[in-house]
């Protein structure tokens, strides 16, 4: 990992970290199961449990804090103006309760980055090239969640408070909730969200201060590309679901962040 002072540390995950992951996520899953208001469906809870174990086992508490921050803020913002959204027919299904498709649509790219880091630390000896790969994957991990939280907040705040919404491809006014629609309120919320989660990634030591800016830029680019996909391909291709678009969105965010880091050599 990269600590808060940007000094790279090569840490091999231990069996103990996986045991902690199982116990912690089982306790949290049990709490989530008994609380009255469900943030996850039953199937979604099982998949979130598995994802939580994977992230803690591969990245430790640092990676877990990032995904937990995304989940809590993303779930909370979905509830903003929920009555109005449901009345207009633009609310998330199941009143925002996440299912397996939502869990992996949001976190598949991050999970790939986490597994990549784990493989590098377990199967490869420490070296400058391996350290670089791990740092880039850590950046991709944070950038993917910056992108997804930006997209979630932009969409949900835009649907709740967007006064004027425009189709991103034509800039023509469209109703709130239209695929590919953007608004000033949603755009600002998305930027704030990407800043917030990038700061969390920095504070836990996964990225450097300079890479906070990279995550914000990558999230902005990926979120707008996602809006373009929503306004064009998603309305024409039946199998291109929101969840699959989310995977593409987060993958673009991670790739853009890594590309910027390499081009600017900010990872050195």
- Within a domain: 2: no
- Within a domain: 119: yes
pLDDT band at 150 (very low <50, low <70, confident <90, very high): very high
pTM: 0.89
pLDDT higher than 50, residue 236: yes
Domain count, the chain: 1
- Within a domain: 44: yes
Three-state secondary structure call for residue 15: helix
pLDDT higher than 80, residue 62: yes
Domain hosting 77: range is 15-264
Report the 10 Å Cβ neighbour count for 252.
23
pLDDT (0 to 100) of residue 153? 93
**Of how many residues is the chain composed?**
268
Q: Which two tokens stand for residue 189?
A: 């919320």
Of 16-20, 183-187, 230-234, 251-255, the range with the highest mean pLDDT is 251-255
- Within a domain: 3: no
- Within a domain: 53: yes
Tokens 């090239």 locate to 129
Tokens 């959204």 locate to 85
Q: Considering only 81-85, 99-103, 111-115, 118-122, which range has the smallest mean pLDDT?
A: 81-85
- Within a domain: 1: no
C-alpha to C-alpha distances, 250 to 107, 150, 194, nearest whole angstrom = 8, 10, 12
pLDDT band at 3 (very low <50, low <70, confident <90, very high): very low
pLDDT (0 to 100) of residue 5? 37
- Within a domain: 115: yes
What is the pLDDT averaged over residues 250-255? Answer: 97
- Within a domain: 4: no
Comparing 96 with 153, which gets the higher pLDDT? 153
Mean pLDDT, the chain, whole residue set: 86
End-to-end Cα distance, the chain: 14
- The three-point CA angle 46-31-152 to 5° equals 65
């Amino acid at each position: 990992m990269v600590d808060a002072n940007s000094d790279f540390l090569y840490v091999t995950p231990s069996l103990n970290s996986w045991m902690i992951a199982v116990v912690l996520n089982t306790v949290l899953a049990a709490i989530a199961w008994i609380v009255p208001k469900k943030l996850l469906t039953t199937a979604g809870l099982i998949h979130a449990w598995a994802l939580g174990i994977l992230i803690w086992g591969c990245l430790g508490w640092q990676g877990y804090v990032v995904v937990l921050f995304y989940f809590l803020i993303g779930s909370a913002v979905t509830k903003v103006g929920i009555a109005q959204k449901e009345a207009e027919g633009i609310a998330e299904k199941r009143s925002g309760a996440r299912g397996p498709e939502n869990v992996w649509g949001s976190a598949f790219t991050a999970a790939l980055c986490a597994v990549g880091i784990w493989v590098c630390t377990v199967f490869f000896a420490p070296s400058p090239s391996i350290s670089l790969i791990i740092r880039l994957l850590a950046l991709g991990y944070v950038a993917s969640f910056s992108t997804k939280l930006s997209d979630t907040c932009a969409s949900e705040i835009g649907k709740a408070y967007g006064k004027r919404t425009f189709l991103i491809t034509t800039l023509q006014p469209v109703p709130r909730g239209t695929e590919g629609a953007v608004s000033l309120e949603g755009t600002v919320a998305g930027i704030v969200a990407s800043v917030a989660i990038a700061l969390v990634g920095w504070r836990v030591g996964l990225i450097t201060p300079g890479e906070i800016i990279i995550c914000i830029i990558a999230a902005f680019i990926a979120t707008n590309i996602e809006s373009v996909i929503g306004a064009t391909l998603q309305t024409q291709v039946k199998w291109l679901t929101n969840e699959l678009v989310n995977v593409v969105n987060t993958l673009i965010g991670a790739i853009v962040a890594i590309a910027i880091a390499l081009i600017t050599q900010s990872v050195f």
